[in-house]
């Protein structure tokens, strides 16, 4: 396997070494000039460089620095500075490339933060011009009301930028209908490395330097016509190399409908190695208004693969997708309660594979006819009664969700063996798909591994990632499997790189694919456009070996530093078996960081945490758009710290900075495909930071609140003075860092904990017929006692015998129970453990009897189902966790069990519609349906859920002066505007800090669901 020059790998290594060894003087000069000549962000710290050293590939190459331009012109300025200093440039969007395209020496230019606008929308022409940093979903959201969309629907649509998509010639699930990126780009304005800004568009209309480039490439295409005919894969999905075939089309779908040559197509798929895109003009498509889905069930995987070639002939132009879900994915989905019902609606018996066949258009009735033709075809192919017909939108949508989730589960395998992407997107002609997949499965078996197959059967691009351990023999096996897979691709005349591009992983395969002569032509194209070799050098031309471990994230020198963790991370500290995916027992994985490093390494940089949906993950990134504030940025920072690549380790200021805006919302625990739980990691990291740097006054004040609350409440008048006097508020801010702008919760002399004893005794509840234990937390007990009383009243009205949990079984002041949450928030694990232990001891007898323990504050109650289990509190924590439920969860469960008949008769009809904001931890535990179900117990109620992320208050976060602005921005992202828009509604929010934020931002009093129900009780 040789590339165009005999010494290619050495050459790549040389460039790397040269720049890696670049004197601080060059880096310093570069940073200085960027700072003085632009207003952009200049990120040259070790942590910043480390965060930009990786993308969604297995590679890691540390850049000299990172530049985040504020204006497009600053890209040109940065390029000019790099030219002067001879520093290579790596263009970057969302950094979700799977082959290492955005890892490189030199200066990384990140377009995703600021350079992301629509420049021109021409609905008449059906075109839009965008800046390269614009995210696909953002574009499509703004186009939706116009009835059009940009249809290259990559799976990463929520975070992939159009510049990156063009760079990689990305392809969506519906490429059979709409083509790849190259089929949908109409023009590009781009800078060459010498600073010229060119308009790449129709060759025929071009002039000047662009025309000259066109002529040059044309002449190469003519010169290499014979090789183009023989070596160029004749499939839709070929993204390797440069598109020399613009002048001699080889694609099964011509790049332009009328056969014209568009010079922009030369840049598409060039992975930032030819020019830097300033803007792209894109072709828009009509947004289909109707869709139907046929789910074909197969009793053999081979048959599914063999049938794809026939299915794609259906539809009369309405077929938009044929997507595979294999048996492993079906099984994985069936194991998840949330997905099992959906997947059951799609399967007949126990299929080995299903194909999701979608038809889309404007007339549902016509699409139903296509569905019938699919049924008929399957009958002809010997599979009668194999199609589940889905005509309604909801089941279709649910099934597409399951298809995505299957991949997520696959990625969440614990242990060092991971599904690795390197032959994930080979494309073969459909008539060979069955033979190809059979043969590759055998290759995996031969190498002691396995792969799960999924995705784009319509175009012969099936995704598969064999499980490899890159710290041990992964690189060797990767090479061996790649060699055998490539032989199969050649045998079936396919494309080795069919979707994800070349980068570091497949650069060396370009010559293999096209032959030395065309590779030489590619080198000439690179030289013509970038003679300075400034743009991502040593990638498409003179690339390194794919298995060069010196370029890998878990290369030969990767070592974890031993540390003693405060929390138990043993669940991650396991080994796995690549062939069976079985993991060893917790704690046996030999992680010197006791499992923490392996938990952090779960992040594979796929970038889902950079999405901008109104969901939960990741609120701080959604506000700042800084890589450091995405879960990915945090995980990468921790990985660098734990492996000695960041001076000062976990106690360093870089780690503190990365964690600073993490609100501990647990959004990542729920949404991250690999289950990175940054909220828990933040506790661990703060613990280590405290050990070295000590605690601040603010941390002590907030953490110890449960301890001094009973005294403070006695002095409520004095304590509340701070809220009445701006001067005192400012003084408090200067002493504690808690913002003078925020009101503090009001202390009350009379509160739940010093009110007369309520409820049944511990003894009584243990023998009661309808027993329940109410755990009242510090916040609801001292500051919003009405919620605790309300819960008590509602539960009593429903016929339960309610026991109020307390330390001494007596409600004496100062003896309330606490989960330890306020201590966890500042990393004080030992103190949190003391409190949690007392709580667990008090709750254990009830839990052992199977009595539900009902809590009101989501973050407090759910501590019993989360952090309590990893603080070394043993079996008692496990037992209590099984009984700990939120108030709404308890009632929703009881309602399902028909236990709320009497309560329902006592509820008065609703006077107002209800608007619900979910607490992050409720969302992370999937509990929002319980809230709406319980509200629906109220007769005639109308309830709407706000599509919101974190409220921005997050415990003490929003009270802190240093976080005030970010806190407000988080709230303003969705929550507060939604509340303001619904003046007619009563707002329900179960989190105490959420209610505070809503009051501060809108002057509206939100209520706990318990209070809402109590307000509707007939008295």
Ligand X SMILES: Cc1cc2nc3c(=O)[nH]c(=O)nc-3n(C[C@H](O)[C@H](O)[C@H](O)COP(=O)(O)OP(=O)(O)OC[C@H]3O[C@@H](n4cnc5c(N)ncnc54)[C@H](O)[C@@H]3O)c2cc1C
For residues 418 and 722, which CB has a smaller minimum distance to ligand X in the complex?
Answer: 418
Report how far residue 587's alpha carbon sits from residue 572's, in angstroms, rounded to the nearest whole number.
Answer: 8
Interface with ligand X, residue 92, by CB under 6 A: yes
Interface with ligand X, residue 870, by CB under 6 A: no
Q: How far apart are CB 964 and ligand SF4 at their closest, in Å?
A: 17
Question: For the chain, percent helix, then strand, then coil, each to nearest 5?
Answer: 45, 15, 40
Report how far residue 516's alpha carbon sits from residue 731's, in angstroms, rounded to the nearest whole number.
Answer: 74
Name which position in 138, 193, 449, 620 contacts ligand SF4 (CB under 6 A). 620
CA distances (Å), 231 to each of 225, 483, 502, 518, in order? 10, 18, 17, 9
Q: How far apart are CB 171 and ligand X at their closest, in Å?
A: 4
Give the one entry of ligand X, ligand SF4, none that residue 156 binds, where binding means its C-beta sits below a cut-off of 5 to 8 angstroms depending on kind: ligand X
For residues 407 and 563, which CB has a smaller minimum distance to ligand SF4 in the complex?
Answer: 407
Contact 674, 411 (CB under 8 A): yes
Which string of x and - marks every residue 38-77 that binds ligand X (by CB under 6 A)? -----------------xx---------------------
C-alpha 759: how far from chain center? 45
For residues 614 and 876, which CB has a smaller minimum distance to ligand SF4 in the complex?
Answer: 614
Name which position in 9, 40, 63, 93 contacts ligand X (CB under 6 A). 93
Give the one entry of ligand X, ligand SF4, none that residue 93 binds, where binding means its C-beta sits below a cut-off of 5 to 8 angstroms depending on kind: ligand X
3-state secondary structure of 595: coil
For residues 361 and 615, which CB has a smaller minimum distance to ligand SF4 in the complex?
Answer: 615
Name which position in 271, 306, 508, 627 contacts ligand X (CB under 6 A). 271
Which string of x and - marks every residue 563-602 that binds ligand SF4 (by CB under 6 A)? ----------------------------------------
Name which position in 544, 619, 781, 1001 contacts ligand SF4 (CB under 6 A). 619
Report how far residue 555's alpha carbon sits from residue 205's, in angstroms, rounded to the nearest whole number.
Answer: 49
Name which of residues 588 to 627 contact ligand X (CB under 6 A): 606
Give the one entry of ligand SF4, ligand X, none that residue 321 binds, where binding means its C-beta sits below a cut-off of 5 to 8 angstroms depending on kind: none
Interface with ligand X, residue 156, by CB under 6 A: yes
Interface with ligand X, residue 95, by CB under 6 A: yes
Contact 560, 643 (CB under 8 A): yes
Contact 42, 70 (CB under 8 A): no
| Four-point Cα dihedral 801, 922, 970, 694, nearest 10 | 80
Q: How far apart are CB 639 and ligand SF4 at their closest, in Å?
A: 10
CA distances (Å), 394 to each of 324, 400, 564, in order? 20, 10, 49
The first and second tokens of residue 806, run together, are 């307390």
Q: How far apart are CB 684 and ligand SF4 at their closest, in Å?
A: 13
Q: How far apart are CB 38 and ligand X at their closest, in Å?
A: 16
Q: How far apart are CB 61 and ligand X at their closest, in Å?
A: 13
DSSP characters for 461-502? EEEE--EEETTTTHHHHHHHHHHHHHHHHHHTT-BS-SSS--
| Four-point Cα dihedral 369, 371, 373, 375, nearest 10 | -140
For residues 200 and 800, which CB has a smaller minimum distance to ligand X in the complex?
Answer: 200
Interface with ligand SF4, residue 608, by CB under 6 A: yes
Number of residues that bind ligand X (CB under 6 A): 36
CA distances (Å), 877 to each of 778, 833, 862, 884, in order? 20, 11, 12, 10
Q: What residues form DSSP beta bridges with 469?
A: 417
Name which position in 163, 294, 615, 918 contacts ligand X (CB under 6 A). 163
> What is the 8-class DSSP label of residue 161?
B
Interface with ligand X, residue 277, by CB under 6 A: yes
Q: What residues form DSSP beta bridges with 410?
A: none
Q: Which stretch binds ligand SF4 (CB under 6 A): 109-117, 212-220, 519-527, 618-626?
A: 618-626
Interface with ligand X, residue 171, by CB under 6 A: yes
Q: How far apart are CB 458 and ligand X at their closest, in Å?
A: 13
Q: Which stretch binds ligand X (CB under 6 A): 90-98, 257-265, 288-296, 627-635?
A: 90-98
Interface with ligand SF4, residue 605, by CB under 6 A: yes
Which string of x and - marks every residue 635-664 that binds ligand SF4 (by CB under 6 A)? x--------------------------xxx
Q: How many other CB atoms are there within 10 angstroms of residue 414's CB atom?
A: 23
Residue 951, C-beta contacts closer than 8 angstroms, at least 6 positions apart: 917, 919, 920, 958, 970, 971, 975, 989, 991, 993, 994, 997, 998
C-alpha 14: how far from chain center? 35
Q: How far apart are CB 633 and ligand SF4 at their closest, in Å?
A: 9
Q: How far apart are CB 275 and ligand X at their closest, in Å?
A: 7
Q: How many other CB atoms are there within 10 angstroms of residue 24's CB atom?
A: 9
Q: How far apart are CB 580 and ligand X at their closest, in Å?
A: 24
Name which of residues 661 to 680 contact ligand SF4 (CB under 6 A): 662-668, 672-674, 676, 678-679
Name which position in 618, 851, 931, 985 contacts ligand SF4 (CB under 6 A). 618
Give the one entry of ligand SF4, ligand X, none that residue 634 binds, where binding means its C-beta sits below a cut-off of 5 to 8 angstroms depending on kind: ligand SF4
Which string of x and - marks every residue 97-126 that binds ligand X (by CB under 6 A)? xx--xx--------x---------------
Which string of x and - marks every residue 213-252 that binds ligand X (by CB under 6 A)? ----------------------------------------
Residue 682, C-beta contacts closer than 8 angstroms, at least 6 positions apart: 659, 662, 664, 827
Q: What DSSP element (H or E) covers 89?
A: strand 89-92
For residues 361 and 827, which CB has a smaller minimum distance to ligand SF4 in the complex?
Answer: 827
Interface with ligand SF4, residue 994, by CB under 6 A: no
Contact 462, 456 (CB under 8 A): yes
Q: What residues form DSSP beta bridges with 576?
A: 583
Q: How far apart are CB 517 and ligand X at their closest, in Å?
A: 25
Contact 83, 195 (CB under 8 A): yes
For residues 529 and 900, which CB has a smaller minimum distance to ligand X in the complex?
Answer: 529
Report how far residue 610's alpha carbon sits from residue 630's, in angstroms, rounded to the nearest whole number.
Answer: 6
Interface with ligand SF4, residue 606, by CB under 6 A: yes
Give the one entry of ligand X, ligand SF4, none that residue 907 binds, where binding means its C-beta sits below a cut-off of 5 to 8 angstroms depending on kind: none
Residue 684's closest CA among 655, 713, 708, 657?
A: 655
Interface with ligand SF4, residue 631, by CB under 6 A: yes
The first and second tokens of residue 545, run together, are 């070996």
Burial class (CB in 10 A: 0-12, 13-18, 19+), 258: exposed
Give the one entry of ligand SF4, ligand X, none that residue 97 binds, where binding means its C-beta sits below a cut-off of 5 to 8 angstroms depending on kind: ligand X
CA distances (Å), 758 to each of 769, 795, 903, in order? 18, 13, 20
Give the one entry of ligand SF4, ligand X, none that residue 732 binds, where binding means its C-beta sits below a cut-off of 5 to 8 angstroms depending on kind: none
Q: Which stretch binds ligand SF4 (CB under 6 A): 343-351, 368-376, 442-450, 603-611?
A: 603-611
Q: How far apart are CB 136 and ligand X at their closest, in Å?
A: 8
Burial class (CB in 10 A: 0-12, 13-18, 19+), 478: buried
Contact 427, 459 (CB under 8 A): yes
3-state secondary structure of 127: strand
Residues that bind ligand SF4 (CB under 6 A): 603-609, 617-620, 631-632, 634-635, 662-668, 672-674, 676, 678-679
Residues that bind ligand X (CB under 6 A): 55-56, 90-98, 101-102, 111, 132, 154-156, 160-161, 163-165, 167-168, 170-172, 271-272, 276-277, 499-500, 536, 606
């Amino acid at each position: 396997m040789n590339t165009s020059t005999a010494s290619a790998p050495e050459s790549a290594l040389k460039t790397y070494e040269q720049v890696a060894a670049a004197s601080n003087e060059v880096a310093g000069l570069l940073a200085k000039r960027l700072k003085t000549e632009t207003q952009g962000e200049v990120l040259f710290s070790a942590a910043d460089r480390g965060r930009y050293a990786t993308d969604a590939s297995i590679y890691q190459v540390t850049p000299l620095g990172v530049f985040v331009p504020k204006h497009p012109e600053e890209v040109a300025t940065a390029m000019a500075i790099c030219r002067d200093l001879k520093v290579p440039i790596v263009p970057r969007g969302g950094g979700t490339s799977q082959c290492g395209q955005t890892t490189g020496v030199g200066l990384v230019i990140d377009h995703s933060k600021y350079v992301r606008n629509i420049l021109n929308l021409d609905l008449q022409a059906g075109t839009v011009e965008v800046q390269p940093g614009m995210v696909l979903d953002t574009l499509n959201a703004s186009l939706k009301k116009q009835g059009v969309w940009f249809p290259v629907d990559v799976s990463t649509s929520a975070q992939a930028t159009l510049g990156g998509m063009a760079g990689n010639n990305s392809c969506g699930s519906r490429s059979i209908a709409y083509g790849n990126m190259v089929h949908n780009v109409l023009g590009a304005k781009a800078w060459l490395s010498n600073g010229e800004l060119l308009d790449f568009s129709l060759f025929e209309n071009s002039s000047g330097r662009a025309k000259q480039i066109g002529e040059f490439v044309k002449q190469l295409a003519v010169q290499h016509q014979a090789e183009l005919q023989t070596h160029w894969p004749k499939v839709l999905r070929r993204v390797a190399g440069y598109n020399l075939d613009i002048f001699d089309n080889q694609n099964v779908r011509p790049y332009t409908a009328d056969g014209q040559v568009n010079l922009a197509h030369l840049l598409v798929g060039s992975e930032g190695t030819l020019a830097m895109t300033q803007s792209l003009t894109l072709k828009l498509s009509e947004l289909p208004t109707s869709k139907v889905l046929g789910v074909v069930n197969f009793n053999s995987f081979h048959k599914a693969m063999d049938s794809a070639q026939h299915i794609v002939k259906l539809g009369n132009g309405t077929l938009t997708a044929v997507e595979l879900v294999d048996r492993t994915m079906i099984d994985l989905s069936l194991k998840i309660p949330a997905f099992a019902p959906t997947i059951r609606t799609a399967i007949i018996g126990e299929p080995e594979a299903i194909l999701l066949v979608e038809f889309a258009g404007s007339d549902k009735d016509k699409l139903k006819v296509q569905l019938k033709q699919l049924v008929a075809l399957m009958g002809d192919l010997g599979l009668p009664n194999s199609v589940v017909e889905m005509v309604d939108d909801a089941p279709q949508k649910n099934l597409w969700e399951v298809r995505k989730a299957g991949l997520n589960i696959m990625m969440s395998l614990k242990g060092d063996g991971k599904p690795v992407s390197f032959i994930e997107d080979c494309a073969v002609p459909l008539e060979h798909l069955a033979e190809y997949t059979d043969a590759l499965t055998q290759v995996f078996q031969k190498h002691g591994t396995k792969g799960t197959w999924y995705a784009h059967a319509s175009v012969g691009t099936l995704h598969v990632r064999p499980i490899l351990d890159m710290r041990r023999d992964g690189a060797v096996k990767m090479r061996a499997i790649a060699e055998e897979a490539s032989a199969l691709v050649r045998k079936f005349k396919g494309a080795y790189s069919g979707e994800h591009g070349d980068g570091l992983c497949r650069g060396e395969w370009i010559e293999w694919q096209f032959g030395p002569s065309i590779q030489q032509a590619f080198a000439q194209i690179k030289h013509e456009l970038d003679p300075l070799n400034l743009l991502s050098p040593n990638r498409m031309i003179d690339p390194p070996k794919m298995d060069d471990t010196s370029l890998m994230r878990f290369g030969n020198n990767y070592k974890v530093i031993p540390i003693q963790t405060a929390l138990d991370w043993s669940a991650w500290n396991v080994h796995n078996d690549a062939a069976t995916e079985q993991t060893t027992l917790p704690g046996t994985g030999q992680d010197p960081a006791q499992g923490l490093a392996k938990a952090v390494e779960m992040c594979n940089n796929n970038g889902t945490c950079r999405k901008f949906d109104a969901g939960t993950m990741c609120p701080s990134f959604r506000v700042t758009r800084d890589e450091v504030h995405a879960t990915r940025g945090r995980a990468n920072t921790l990985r660098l710290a734990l492996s000695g690549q960041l001076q000062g380790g976990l106690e360093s200021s870089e780690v503190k900075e990365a964690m600073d805006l993490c609100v501990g919302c647990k959004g990542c625990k729920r949404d991250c495909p690999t289950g990175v739980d940054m909220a828990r990691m933040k506790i661990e990291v703060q613990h280590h930071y405290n050990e070295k740097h000590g605690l601040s006054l603010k941390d002590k004040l907030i953490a110890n609140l449960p301890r001094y609350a009973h005294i403070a409440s006695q002095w409520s008048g004095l304590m509340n003075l701070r809220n009445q006097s701006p001067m005192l508020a400012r003084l408090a801010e200067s002493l504690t860092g808690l913002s003078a702008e925020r009101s503090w919760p009001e202390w009350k002399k009379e509160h739940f904990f010093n009110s007369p004893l309520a409820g049944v005794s511990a003894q009584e509840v243990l023998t009661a017929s309808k027993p329940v234990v109410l755990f009242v937390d510090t916040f609801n007990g001292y500051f919003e006692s009405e919620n605790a009383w309300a819960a008590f009243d509602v539960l009593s009205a429903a016929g339960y015998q309610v026991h109020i949990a307390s330390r001494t079984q007596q409600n004496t002041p100062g003896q309330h129970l606490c989960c330890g949450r306020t201590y966890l928030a500042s990393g004080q694990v030992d103190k949190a453990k003391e409190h949690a232990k007392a709580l667990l001891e008090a709750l254990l007898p009830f839990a052992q009897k199977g009595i539900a323990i009902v809590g009101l504050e989501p973050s407090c109650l759910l501590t019993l189902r989360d952090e309590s289990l990893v603080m070394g509190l043993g079996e008692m924590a496990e037992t209590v966790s099984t009984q700990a439920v939120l108030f709404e969860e308890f009632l929703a469960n009881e309602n399902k069990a028909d236990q709320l008949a009497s309560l329902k008769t006592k509820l008065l009809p609703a006077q107002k519609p209800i608007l619900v904001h979910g607490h992050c931890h409720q969302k992370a535990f999937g509990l929002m349906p319980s809230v709406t179900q319980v509200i629906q117990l109220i007769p005639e109620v109308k309830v709407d859920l706000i599509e919101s992320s974190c409220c921005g208050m997050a415990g003490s976060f929003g009270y802190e002066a240093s976080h005030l602005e970010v806190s407000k921005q988080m709230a303003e992202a969705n929550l507060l505007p939604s509340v303001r828009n619904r003046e007619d509604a009563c707002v329900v929010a179960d989190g105490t800090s959420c209610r505070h934020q809503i009051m501060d931002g809108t002057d509206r009093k939100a209520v706990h669901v318990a209070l809402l129900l109590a307000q509707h009780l007939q008295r």
